[in-house]
Amino acid sequence: MAVQAPSTIDDAGVERLVVLHFDFIWRFLLRLGVGEADAEDLAQQVFLVLNAHRDAATSGTVRAYLVGVARRIASTYRRSQRRRRDVVADDTPDQTDVSPSPEELADRGRAAVVLDRILETRMTEAEREVFVLFEIEELSMSEIAGALAIPSGTVASRLRRARTQFQAALSAWRLEPREVAS
Amino acid sequence: MKDPARLSDGACGSTGVALLAAVRGISAPEGACDRALGNLRLGAGGLATAALVTTQNVRAAASHSALPTASAGAASKAGVASGLLWKAAVTSVLLGAASLTLGRGGTETALSPARSAPRAVLPSRDATSVPAVVPLAPPAPSTPAAPVRSRAAEPKVDSRPPRATAPFAHASELSLSAQLALLDEARRAAPQRALALLVTYRDQYPQGALSYEASLLRVDTLERLGRHAEALPLARMLLRTYPNGTASPRLKQLVAQ
């Protein structure tokens, strides 16, 4: 459930928001391609920005605000680092590799690597953001629209394309049907 | 508009569900949230002091790097200035990275930090200038110990002088960005190399604006290496010299152990 920001955020409020949302922001950064070694630092940066701009975070939902800051920081990070996640380079199976079995995917680490591979190679940055926020973090479409500053229709179309890509990746492994859920 | 059903409700089959479930709800590393809270409580002023900081603040803070540190009072001043500078630099980089802009019009809401932004501040993301990821704080220390290791015993490492980048007009800013880059490299390095880099820092910037942070990092690095006997007197020295330093609470905790 989204936390509605109070009219002003005091120190205790900022701390409460860190406790409430730190894991969420950390996960979001990871799924946007931030390396695990850097995700904690960048998550801290997100909350430092929140702290420095308390007034800016008092309309709408704080979670949407944090998402907006996090995606910007992640984008800057990726450009500046000019590198992809280690797992993509080292551990991720090529698409022609033997498909992972459901049993293998029961291993969270392995599943995360496979999922990140799909996010990295199959989706645009914009599609990836929407997919992660809707399918993994379970934000509502309207909240995503607010966080990304795009119309709801755009959220829906990006989500459709992202789902198509996700299903296509699964189909490439001949494990799943090609139909895209609507 | 009604939201569509999520794929994890079964629309993507068992493999898709397994993939999505694997990353849903995972937590940050243990203690990460506490470290974030600790870093937000920078300085005696706490959270309230970490307000909007601009390039001007960085320049002003950098100018304090020339403060004499001989007397205890002056040293204390330098410590405060150093802390401010660190915070200012961190926040400035953040502002550059996060690029917050409000009321851009069009379809953007007032809450949208997404696209926008005053790109001002410390624009260079070059690895040799201000690092994109600025160290927010060294890892939490565990335990203390004794005599400071001699400099001669530490490995010497060539330090790569950071390349000057366009946006920095003043020598003090060049120095500041170089110091930040050096300390950030030390923070990320393996402990032995980190110590060598910290020696480099001490040699290059004997009265550097980030001396306090460099010493803190040294304490933490020694702790990581289990060299408590060397970390303890350094921690005590920091407490004596900078009693109101940003890390005083945890240094006191370390010394009390």
Residue-wise pLDDT for B166-175, tens only, equals 333 344 444 6
Candidate from A19, A80, A147 with C-beta closest to B132: A80
pLDDT at residue B204, as a whole number: 81
pLDDT at residue B230, as a whole number: 84
Asked if A173 and B35 touch (Cβ cutoff 8 Å), the reply is no
pLDDT at residue B51, as a whole number: 35
Using a CB-CB cut-off of 8 Å, the residues of chain B touching A136 are: 20, 23-24
Question: Is pLDDT at B133 greater than 50 in this prediction?
Answer: no
- Taking the C-alpha atoms of residue A123 and residue A91, their distance in angstroms, rounded to an integer, is 19
pLDDT digits (tens, 9 = 90+) for B203-229: 887 777 777 788 888 888 888 888 888
ipTM above 0.90, yes or no: no
pLDDT at residue A165, as a whole number: 92
- Residues B139-158 as b/e (b if ≥16 CB within 10 A, e otherwise) read eebeebbeeebeeeeeeebe
Q: Which residue has the higher pLDDT, A144 or B257?
A: A144
Distances, alpha carbon B247 to alpha carbons B40, B83, B179, in Å: 12, 10, 19
pLDDT at residue B53, as a whole number: 33
pLDDT at residue B11, as a whole number: 77
Span B51-74, mean pLDDT? Answer: 35
Got the DSSP string for A69-126? HHHHHHHHHHHHHT---HHHHHTPPPTTSPPPPHHHHTSHHHHHHHHHHHHHHHS-HH
Question: Is pLDDT at B91 greater than 80 in this prediction?
Answer: no
Task: List the beta bridge partners of residue A61.
Answer: A4
Asked if B87 and B47 touch (Cβ cutoff 8 Å), the reply is no
- Cβ neighbors of B90 (< 8 A, separation 6 or more) are A48, B134, B136
Span B100-109, mean pLDDT? Answer: 31
Cβ contact B37–A38 (<8 Å)? no
pLDDT at residue B154, as a whole number: 43
pLDDT at residue A44, as a whole number: 92
Q: What percent of chain B has pLDDT over 90?
A: 0
- Interface check for B115 against chain A (CB to CB < 8 A): the answer is yes
Cβ contact B136–A100 (<8 Å)? no
pLDDT digits (tens, 9 = 90+) for B67-80: 333 333 333 333 33
Question: Is pLDDT at B58 greater than 60 in this prediction?
Answer: no
Packing angle of the helix pair B72-98, B171-188 (nearest 10 deg) = 80
The DSSP call for residue A151 is -
Asked if B110 and A64 touch (Cβ cutoff 8 Å), the reply is no
Cβ contact A118–B111 (<8 Å)? no
Using a CB-CB cut-off of 8 Å, the residues of chain A touching B47 are: 11, 14-15, 51
By C-alpha distance, the chain A residue nearest B102 is: A56
Question: Is pLDDT at B130 greater than 50 in this prediction?
Answer: no
Q: What percent of chain B has pLDDT over 70?
A: 45
- Taking the C-alpha atoms of residue A156 and residue B3, their distance in angstroms, rounded to an integer, is 9
- CA triplet B20, B23, B26: central angle to 5 degrees? 145
Q: How far is A176 from chain B (nearest CA, A)?
A: 6
Closest CA to B37 of A71, A52, A72, A11: A11
By C-alpha distance, the chain B residue nearest A62 is: B111
Asked if A137 and A155 touch (Cβ cutoff 8 Å), the reply is no
A20 burial class (0-12, 13-18, 19+ CB within 10 angstroms)? Answer: middle
What is the token pair recorded at B141? 């220390």
Span B152-181, mean pLDDT? Answer: 48
pLDDT at residue B173, as a whole number: 45
Question: Is pLDDT at B113 greater than 90 in this prediction?
Answer: no
pLDDT at residue A144, as a whole number: 92
- Residues B58-70 as b/e (b if ≥16 CB within 10 A, e otherwise) read bbbbbebbebebe
Listed range (A27-41, B12-26, B44-58) with the worst mean pLDDT: B44-58
Span B49-67, mean pLDDT? Answer: 35
CA atoms within 13 A on the CB side of A128: 20
- Interface check for A4 against chain B (CB to CB < 8 A): the answer is no
pLDDT at residue A99, as a whole number: 55
Cβ contact B100–A56 (<8 Å)? yes
Q: Which residues of chain A have pLDDT under 50?
A: 1, 4-6, 84-98, 175-182
The structure tokens 């565990």 sit at: B142
- Taking the C-alpha atoms of residue B89 and residue B255, their distance in angstroms, rounded to an integer, is 29
Q: Which residue has the higher pLDDT, A63 or B115?
A: A63
By C-alpha distance, the chain A residue nearest B37 is: A15
pLDDT at residue B179, as a whole number: 76
The chain-wide mean pLDDT, for chain A, equals 78
Using a CB-CB cut-off of 8 Å, the residues of chain A touching B27 are: 23, 26
Closest CA to A52 of B10, B224, B121: B121
- Interface check for A103 against chain B (CB to CB < 8 A): the answer is no
A172 burial class (0-12, 13-18, 19+ CB within 10 angstroms)? Answer: middle
Question: pTM of the entire structure?
Answer: 0.49
- Interface check for B40 against chain A (CB to CB < 8 A): the answer is yes
Asked if A23 and B27 touch (Cβ cutoff 8 Å), the reply is yes
Three-state SS at B86 = helix
A68 CB neighbour count, 10 Å cutoff: 29
Candidate from B14, B37, B96 with C-beta closest to A15: B37
Question: Is pLDDT at B156 greater than 90 in this prediction?
Answer: no
- Taking the C-alpha atoms of residue B76 and residue B192, their distance in angstroms, rounded to an integer, is 29
A7-21, A147-161, B108-122, B239-253 — most confident range: A147-161
pLDDT at residue A67, as a whole number: 92
